[in-house]
Amino acid sequence: PSTLEVGKRVFSVEVYDKSMESTDRNSLLLGEKAFFNPDKKYSSGDIVIAVVPGYAKALIRKYRQTAVDAEGNPSFDLIALNPDFDSVLSAQSRSVVIVARAIGAYRSL
């Protein structure tokens, strides 16, 4: 879509499951294209794509920071908006890699 940033390291991912479907205005639907920017800072409440040990695919989840240790490393939850899917609780930045923050979605008609 023309509203996306041009010339940045933006990439798209086709949403491959219903884990982020809900009545939330930020929900993502199966088959929709979600756009991510690895250069954008993320914070609690943002949708992110993350590589989590033990999962075959990167996960799209809502980021919620829960704590920061003495060395400045955050602990966080990665929340699925659909309760039928796994959330990752008490993740740590040492083992989980947050790849990018969602900046938009494109739903084809």
Whole-angstrom Cα distance, residue 22 to residue 26?
A: 8
pLDDT (0 to 100) of residue 24 = 79
pLDDT band at 1 (very low <50, low <70, confident <90, very high): low
pLDDT (0 to 100) of residue 109 = 54
Name, in order, each residue with C-beta under 8 angstroms of 2's C-beta and a sequence gap of 6 or more.
Answer: none
pLDDT digits (tens, 9 = 90+) for 53-107: 999 999 999 999 999 889 888 899 999 999 999 999 988 777 899 999 998 888 7
For residue 44, pLDDT over 90 is answered with: yes
Backbone torsions φ then ψ of 90, nearest 5 degrees: 55, 40
pLDDT (0 to 100) of residue 3 = 57
pTM for this prediction: 0.86
pLDDT band at 42 (very low <50, low <70, confident <90, very high): very high
Burial of 62 (0-12, 13-18, 19+ CB in 10 A): buried
Q: Among residues 35, 33, 102, which one has the least CA distance to residue 63?
A: 102
